[in-house]
Amino acid sequence: MRKALLSLLLAPALLAQVRPEDLVRARQTPDNWLTYSGSYDSQRYSALNQITPGNAKNLQMRWAFQVKSLEKFEATPLVVDGRMYLTQAPNDVLALDAATGRVFWHYSYEASPKARLCCGIVNRGLAILGDTLFMGAIDGRLIAIDAYNGKPVWSTNVNGADPATGYSITMAPLVVKDKVIIGTGGGEYGIRGFIAAFDAKTGVEAWRFYTIPGPGEPGHDTWAGDSWKHGGASVWVTGSYDPDLNLTYWGIGNPGPDYNADGRAGDNLYSDSVVALDADTGKLKWHFQFTPHDVFDYDSVQIPVLADIAWQGRTRKAMLWANRNGFFYVLDRTNGEFLLGKPFEKVTWATSLDSKGRPILAPGAAPTTEGTRIYPGVQGATNWYSPSFSPRTGLFYIPTWVGYYSTFTKYDLTYEPGQRFTGGTPRSVVPGVRGVGYVNTRKEEDGSGAIRAIDPQTGERKWEFKFTDVTDSGILTTASDVLFTGSRDGSFYALDAKTGTELWRAAVGGQVVAGPMTYRVGGKQYIAIAAGSTMFAFALPD
Amino acid sequence: MLRTYSLILLAVALAAGQGHDYTQADVDAGSRLYSNNCSGCHGVDGNTMQGANLSRGTFRRATNDEELSRIIINGLPGTPMPPSAFKPEQTMQIVAFLRAFPAIRARQTSSGDAARGKAIFEGKGSCLDCHRVSGRGGRLGPDLSDIGELRRPADIEQSLIDPGAVIVPQNRVVTVTMRDGKTVRGRLLNQDTQSIQIVGPGEKPVSIVRAEIRSVTDEKSSMPSAKDKLDARELADVVSYLATLKGLQ
């Protein structure tokens, strides 16, 4: 009897174990949110359907959790069996009751003060396997944390480098089978990028793929001279995984120096590319480069969205990609074949794409000492903000910067460890998210924002929901055809995913710089979103 | 040449006044570092970040050069200011440039008489009808209490001669036409996807819901040009006066 009682008490805790097959089947268990994007295909689509276009107007705030960090709040939490795991910048982890927002435990990692980050001392979230959480830290460490009590289990320096040289981690890791996969940031500091996998139990490195090929490797000759040593090609947004193909897909960042390419003649592989790696070995299966020899900081760090879609009479294993460079792409994810490419926003750096998807450059489109105006501007037509694909509507949803431009200048520089290695200064009327104040008096022609719904079959826009300001928010869609997204001007929306009609809106009072997610506890569907310095959870009334 | 020379003297003298003996070479090197690394956020004139005006040579969070260097190296947690990896010499050069910033801006100071300019501004120019300085005057136009911090004399002069030529986003004047045909005209204070905020009737800030709005159109500045009202010397005097307005110190 006593034994039975004990096992009863232990039973809920044991549910927190997340097995590799649970991650594969995440779509079928929508009460939980087990990865950064919710499922390995990174559609940020949930099968939950309690909140509908008909009742969304009744949504209420159920709880709010205020973090103590004033940094940008870019995290998507995980939810496992009613427990939410959340990061607070720079590297705190909090376990909350997902139904109430009450704290179970708090872990604070004190990162090295030598860490160098170009664009905010931030963290985007966690990965989980078994009863262990995994977090990348701004000083380049990967830390395993006990999900029951918040105690660190192991920690490793994934970069093998001094954080003062600019190697850093801001992304949520991806767990595949028994490995934790993560990349490195630092593209503005002359790092050499990579993706690496670590044994989830021990933290021992299993494989490493350099995003810039070394001497003797294919693609090395796409970098002039020694430029490959400090060519950037960072990885700072979580990848995707196709269990059937056993391929993991990652978007790669810009080449460095960002704006002065005089010393790096060539295509600069695999910067601004998507790479498909064998999940067991890290071996490259294929790559597709969106922006060869980039001079505008068009990182391809978008989330690789995997979707099986009807394509000219048959189902294809596709990859949908709205790139920072302004083009929307459809690729075959089995082999990287280019299927479709079309601008989804104003583009002046290229005139079009050729039959292989390679951009045809516009004459004179390069940074100069005096400055050259280019669309899209340095933050791109979209950026790292999670898009969404709904298999129900068949539409791909893109957070879009509309009519936005920068004037790109360049200057000469040499590499110095830990120094910014950009070689230019883009100037825009619209500030990057770190410079946002409380007031916006800009004109629409200087840049605005929108959620755009694209038909992947044609690249044509089906609908658009406009914002006065640009948007840094991700998108969530659900099986009841409701789309959730936020705005820089402090609102959180439910839209009809079929038409773009506004269903509901909440004033969250702070800029949304994160992707929404959803989960269910006690039979109730919640929508969670970080805004300003607060995590909000919304649900229907009891 | 003479102007450049006076600038050097002024910059070095000012830097020396802070207890450090910076050379013009330090200031020049700091200027390049600033331009390449800092101006993206802080602006060419050091005044584009709210609450962090770098152009006046004094700093809210640093009373001496060591504190200033520390902020440059470590950043300011909880603000957009990131840490950096400048070498000590480079940090010193940036500090030298920041200390010289007011002197560099001052090189363009108009040759007018600020006291006479004040009299013209408040009298013949009737500028206080619309503009406010240190708590006196109208609120329809931009408050000019710190215009000498925010704008270079050449920009001030251009705005006096041709007020509509360059209107910074903060000073946009719009006419809002409501669905019922009524109009409200005023300086734009803020906007979002749902509403706009303007200086409405009686100089009061008002908020208008976009659902009630038919259109929002930009207006030319309603400010008359000073060129028909003031001669060249009077204009220089007013520019000199406005350049002295540094806000509440």
Residue of B38, B172, B193 to mutate when probing chain A, most A C-beta within 10 A: B193
CA dihedral B139, B144, B145, B148 (to 10 degrees): 170
In residues, how long is chain B?
249
CATH number of domain containing A282: 2.140.10.10
Whether residues B52 and B132 share a domain: the answer is: no
Whether residues B55 and B126 share a domain: the answer is: no
The per-residue pLDDT for A1 is 46
**3-class SS string, B31-64:** HHHHHHHCHHHHCCCCCCCCCCCCCCCCECCECC
| Cβ proximity of A441 and B170 under 8 Å | yes
The alpha-carbon gap from B119 to the nearest alpha carbon of chain A, in Å, equals 33
CATH number of domain containing B193: 2.30.30.100
Closest CA to A152 of A170, A133, A176: A133
Helix (H) / strand (E) containing A424: strand A424-427
Q: Sheet containing A406-410: which strands, arranged edge to edge?
A: A372-374, A406-410, A424-427
One digit per residue, the tens of pLDDT, for chain A of length 542 reads 455 444 444 444 444 589 999 999 999 999 999 999 999 999 999 999 999 999 999 999 999 999 999 889 999 999 999 999 999 999 999 999 999 999 999 999 999 988 988 888 999 999 999 999 999 999 999 999 999 999 999 999 998 888 999 999 999 999 999 999 999 999 999 999 999 999 999 999 999 999 999 999 999 999 999 999 999 999 999 999 999 999 999 999 999 999 999 999 999 999 999 999 999 999 999 999 999 999 999 999 999 999 999 998 899 999 999 999 999 999 999 999 999 999 999 999 999 999 999 999 999 999 999 899 999 999 999 999 999 999 999 999 999 999 999 999 999 889 989 888 999 888 888 988 766 778 999 999 999 999 999 999 999 999 999 999 999 999 999 999 999 999 999 999 999 999 999 999 999 999 999 999 999 999 999 999 999 999 999 999 99
Which chain A residues touch B169 with a CB distance below 8 Å?
A: 429, 441-443, 446
C-beta atoms of A120 and B170 within 8 A: no
Give the span between the Cα atoms of A409 and A369, in whole angstroms. 5
Residue of A nearest to B188 (CA): A441
Of B39, B83, B188, Cβ closest to residue A441: B188
Of A70, A411, A416, Cβ closest to residue B36: A411
What is the phi/psi pair of residue A185, to 5°? Answer: -90, 180
Q: Does the annotation count A297 as an active-site position? A: yes
CA dihedral B43, B48, B52, B55 (to 10 degrees): 60
Token pair for B140: 């329809």
Whether residues B120 and B237 share a domain: the answer is: yes
C-beta atoms of B78 and A70 within 8 A: yes
C-beta atoms of A121 and B41 within 8 A: no
Q: How many CB atoms lie within 10 A of CB B140?
A: 17
Q: Region of A462 please: left (phi>0), alpha (psi -120 to 50) or beta.
A: alpha
Q: Identify the active-site residue in A258, A267, A297, A469.
A: A297
Token pair for A105: 């435990």
The answer to whether the bond into A77 is cis (omega within 30° of 0) is no
In residues, how long is chain A?
542
Q: With an 8 Å Cβ cutoff, is B88 touching chain A?
A: no
Give the span between the Cα atoms of B240 and B110, in whole angstroms. 5
C-beta atoms of B189 and A441 within 8 A: yes
User: Is there a domain that residue B248 lies in?
Assistant: no
Task: List, in sequence order, every residue forming a beta bridge with B197; answer none if it has no partner.
Answer: B190, B207
Which residues of A have a CB under 8 Å from any CB of B? 69-71, 113, 115-121, 164, 166, 189, 411, 413, 416-420, 425-427, 429, 434-435, 437-443, 446, 466-469, 487, 489-491, 505
User: Is there a domain that residue A9 lies in?
Assistant: no
Helical axes B114-122 vs B232-243, angle rounded to 10°: 100
The answer to whether the bond into A90 is cis (omega within 30° of 0) is yes
User: Is there a domain that residue A39 lies in?
Assistant: no
User: Is there a domain that residue A412 lies in?
Assistant: yes
DSSP A408: E
CA dihedral B130, B134, B136, B139 (to 10 degrees): 30
The alpha-carbon gap from A226 to the nearest alpha carbon of chain B, in Å, equals 23
Which chain A residues touch B93 with a CB distance below 8 Å?
A: none
Closest CA to A206 of A274, A279, A150: A279
Of A116, A434, A440, Cβ closest to residue B80: A434
Q: Region of A120 please: left (phi>0), alpha (psi -120 to 50) or beta.
A: left
Residue at which a domain ends, from B106, B124, B153: B106
Residue of A nearest to B193 (CA): A468
| Helices (runs of H) and strands (runs of E) counted in chain A | 2, 38
pLDDT, tens only, B130-150 = 999 999 999 888 999 989 888
Give the span between the Cα atoms of A535 and A526, in whole angstroms. 12
Q: Which domain holds residue A421?
A: 171-436+452-461
| Cβ proximity of B132 and B138 under 8 Å | yes
The per-residue pLDDT for A144 is 98
What is the phi/psi pair of residue A433, to 5°? Answer: -60, -25
Chain pair A-B, CB pairs under 8 angstroms: 84
Cα distance from N-terminal residue to C-terminal residue, chain A = 37
* Amino acid occupying residue B164: G
User: Is there a domain that residue A405 lies in?
Assistant: yes
pLDDT, tens only, B69-92 = 989 988 887 677 877 778 888 898
Which chain B residues touch A116 with a CB distance below 8 Å?
A: 82-85
Q: Please state which of the ranges A532-536, B101-105, B125-129, B150-154 shows the lowest mean pLDDT.
A: B101-105
Of A418, A427, A440, Cβ closest to residue B85: A418
* Amino acid occupying residue B11: A
Q: With an 8 Å Cβ cutoff, is B213 touching chain A?
A: no
Of B37, B189, B193, Cβ closest to residue A468: B193
CATH number of domain containing B118: 1.10.760.10
User: Is there a domain that residue A499 lies in?
Assistant: no
User: Is there a domain that residue A50 lies in?
Assistant: no
Helical axes B2-17 vs B24-37, angle rounded to 10°: 90
What does DSSP say about strands A45-46 and A475-478: parallel, antiparallel, or unpaired?
Answer: parallel
Considering its fold, how many domains does chain A have in total?
1
Which chain A residues touch B218 with a CB distance below 8 Å?
A: 443
C-beta atoms of B83 and A117 within 8 A: yes
C-beta atoms of A440 and B190 within 8 A: yes
Task: List, in sequence order, every residue forming a beta bridge with A242; answer none if it has no partner.
Answer: A247
C-beta atoms of B36 and A434 within 8 A: no
Residue of A nearest to B174 (CA): A441
| Cβ proximity of A531 and A489 under 8 Å | no
Q: With an 8 Å Cβ cutoff, is B191 touching chain A?
A: yes
Q: Which domain holds residue B148?
A: 114-165+224-243
| Cβ proximity of A289 and A276 under 8 Å | no
C-alpha radius of gyration, chain B, whole number: 21
C-beta atoms of B192 and A469 within 8 A: yes
Which chain B residues touch A67 with a CB distance below 8 Å?
A: none
Considering its fold, how many domains does chain B have in total?
3
Chain B window 125-184: which residues touch A at a Cβ cutoff of 8 Å?
169-170, 172
Whether residues B140 and B235 share a domain: the answer is: yes
Q: With an 8 Å Cβ cutoff, is B86 touching chain A?
A: yes
Whether residues B207 and B230 share a domain: the answer is: no
The alpha-carbon gap from A48 to the nearest alpha carbon of chain B, in Å, equals 29
Whether residues B150 and B52 share a domain: the answer is: no
Which residues in A213-248 are b (16+ Cβ under 10 Å) and which e? beeeeebeebbeeebbebbbbbbbbbbbbbbebebb
Which chain B residues touch A417 with a CB distance below 8 Å?
A: 85
